[in-house]
């Protein structure tokens, strides 16, 4: 007997209740506190802030708990909250040369003004599981340098002094910096909109594209000019005041990739730039972003567009994981009305096909 599918309301309510139960898990295990996540899962929090485009550790931690640790779901939660916030204004560009850096490395120089500083990196750890972490054993305090930090000019500025690297790029005269969260994208993009899209793009997607450029799909001969991680000041111009107001500090990761460029008819040989800047500590993302940025400058630099990573519409239209996960996952919504239409078509076409075969066979028989 057919029972009409009813009770969508009750089904949804019960599903949400079960979700809440599974999220909490065994009640005899203490519930996670947000400060534990902020302090101890900091890189996950950073990723949610970066791809969620909202710098707030506590909200990101809340989103991670609410999403049961699914970071793309957490990013989505943060985005949906962010979009309802009023826009008060736009800060001045951050000055990363004035960063209070905790990590700063360059692969292009053995030593340089400001020095190399490893900071809190996984780079030279051996990836051996550490059973001590499971016991909650005490952790030593870090060693910190007491010396006055010296100025840390950017590698790109050092190269620019000799004209060995292209200038930072010009936008068309009168160009007002875009905001991809307030205006629909219009292809081809200017670099400002492109960098914004890359900065909130999915880490995994950009990583794979960046990797593809290294394997010959739009090879760019990259060198890490510099990676720096640390805090920068945010300043806002207020029309009534003739000085900028300091809003506070945020932690960012910046990567400046230096790439070979043979020069063209118009330009002498010179290094070119790829740029990455993301919220929090996320070196992998910043590096992937800078490789993708460089690859996407193909049109501007007059290079042949032959690979996926150079194709702006392809990369930018598919880099947003909130969009991607939504559209892929929406396939599980009911589609039975359209499927019915396809069923009907396939049945009719099979009937035609069968009728033709019968006719063919009859004709053949007659001929024989």
H-helix segments, 215-335: 283-296, 298-301, 312-318, 321-329
- Which residues 20-39 are close enough to bind another protein by CB under 8 A? 34
Stretch that binds another protein, among 6-14, 119-127, 148-156, 222-230 (CB under 8 A): 6-14
What minimum distance in Å lies between the beta carbon of 301 and another protein? 19
C-beta of 138 vs 334, nearer to another protein: 334
C-beta of 59 vs 291, nearer to another protein: 59
Edge-to-edge strand order for the sheet containing 272-279?
A: 100-105, 222-236, 245-259, 272-279
C-beta of 254 vs 320, nearer to another protein: 320
**Contact flags string 144-183 toward another protein, x per CB under 8 A:** -------------------------------------xxx
- CA–CA gap between residue 126 and residue 15 (Å, rounded): 43
C-beta of 214 vs 317, nearer to another protein: 317
Residue 237 touches another protein, criterion: CB under 8 A = no
- CA–CA gap between residue 116 and residue 184 (Å, rounded): 41
Residue bearing tokens 């996407």 = 296
Give first-to-last CA distance, the chain, whole Å: 52
What minimum distance in Å lies between the beta carbon of 296 and another protein? 15
Q: What are phi and psi of 148, to 5 degrees?
A: -60, 125
C-beta of 84 vs 135, nearer to another protein: 84
What minimum distance in Å lies between the beta carbon of 269 and another protein? 31
C-beta of 86 vs 131, nearer to another protein: 86
* Opening angle at CA 50, ends 35 and 92, nearest 5: 110
Give the gyration radius of the chain's Cα atoms: 27
What minimum distance in Å lies between the beta carbon of 179 and another protein? 9
Residue bearing tokens 């054993």 = 137
Q: Identify each DSSP E strand in the chain by its residue range.
A: 100-105, 222-236, 245-259, 272-279
Of 48, 67, 76, 274, the one binding another protein (CB under 8 A) is 76
Total of chain residues touching another protein, rule CB under 8 A: 59
- CA–CA gap between residue 252 and residue 94 (Å, rounded): 10
Q: Is 324 exposed, middle or buried (0-12, 13-18, 19+ CB in 10 A)?
A: middle
C-beta of 12 vs 118, nearer to another protein: 12
- Which residues 94-133 are close enough to bind another protein by CB under 8 A? none
What minimum distance in Å lies between the beta carbon of 184 and another protein? 4
- Which residues 337-356 are close enough to bind another protein by CB under 8 A? 337-338, 340-345, 348-349, 352
Stretch that binds another protein, among 80-88, 217-225, 226-234, 360-368 (CB under 8 A): 80-88
**Contact flags string 276-315 toward another protein, x per CB under 8 A:** -------------------------------------x--
Tell me how far CA of residue 191 lies from CA of 214, 293, 294, 299, in angstroms.
22, 8, 10, 11
- CA–CA gap between residue 221 and residue 225 (Å, rounded): 12
Residue 247 touches another protein, criterion: CB under 8 A = no
Stretch that binds another protein, among 40-48, 77-85, 124-132, 272-280 (CB under 8 A): 77-85
Q: Is 304 helix (H, G, I), strand (E, B) or coil?
A: coil
DSSP state of 142: P
- Which residues 180-209 are close enough to bind another protein by CB under 8 A? 181-188
Tokens of 5: 């599918």
Q: Is 67 helix (H, G, I), strand (E, B) or coil?
A: coil
What minimum distance in Å lies between the beta carbon of 133 and another protein? 28
- CA–CA gap between residue 308 and residue 185 (Å, rounded): 19
Of 268, 336, 366, 368, the one binding another protein (CB under 8 A) is 336
Binding residues for another protein (CB under 8 A): 1-9, 11-12, 34, 56, 58-59, 62, 76, 79-84, 86-87, 181-188, 313, 317, 322-323, 325-331, 333-338, 340-345, 348-349, 352
């Amino acid at each position: 007997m057919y029972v009409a599918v009813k009770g969508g309301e009750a089904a949804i309510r019960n599903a949400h209740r079960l979700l809440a139960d599974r999220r909490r898990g065994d009640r005899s295990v203490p519930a996670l506190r947000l400060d534990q996540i902020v302090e101890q899962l900091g890189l996950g929090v950073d990723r949610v802030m970066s791809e969620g485009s909202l710098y707030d550790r506590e909200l990101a931690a809340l989103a991670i708990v609410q999403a049961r640790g699914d970071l793309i779901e957490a990013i989505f939660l943060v985005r949906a909250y962010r979009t309802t916030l009023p826009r008060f204004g736009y800060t001045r560009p951050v000055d990363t040369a004035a960063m209070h850096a905790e990590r700063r490395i360059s692969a292009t120089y053995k030593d340089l003004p400001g020095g190399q500083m490893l900071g809190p990196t996984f780079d030279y750890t051996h990836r051996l599981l550490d059973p001590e972490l499971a016991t909650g054993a005490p952790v030593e305090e870090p060693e910190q340098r007491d010396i006055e930090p010296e100025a840390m000019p950017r590698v790109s500025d050092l190269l620019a002094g000799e004209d060995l690297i292209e200038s930072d790029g010009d936008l068309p005269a009168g160009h007002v910096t875009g905001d991809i969260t307030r205006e629909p994208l219009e292809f081809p993009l200017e670099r400002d909109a492109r960098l914004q899209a890359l900065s909130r793009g999915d880490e995994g997607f950009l990583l794979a594209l960046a990797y593809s450029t290294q394997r010959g799909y739009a090879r760019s001969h990259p060198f890490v000019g510099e990676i720096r991680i640390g805090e920068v000041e945010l300043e806002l111009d207020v029309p009534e005041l003739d000085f900028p107001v300091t809003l506070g500090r945020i932690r960012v990761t910046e990567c400046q990739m230096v790439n070979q460029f043979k020069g063209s008819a118009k330009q002498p040989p010179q290094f070119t730039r790829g740029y990455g800047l993301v919220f929090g500590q996320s070196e992998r993302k910043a590096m992937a972003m800078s490789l993708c940025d460089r690859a996407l400058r193909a049109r501007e630099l007059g290079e042949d567009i032959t690979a996926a990573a150079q194709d702006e519409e392809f990369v930018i239209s598919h880099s947003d994981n909130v969009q991607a996960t939504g559209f892929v996952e929406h396939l599980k919504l009911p589609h039975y009305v359209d499927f019915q239409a396809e069923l009907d078509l396939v049945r009719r076409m099979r009937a035609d096909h069968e009728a033709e075969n019968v006719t063919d066979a009859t004709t053949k028989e007659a001929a024989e």
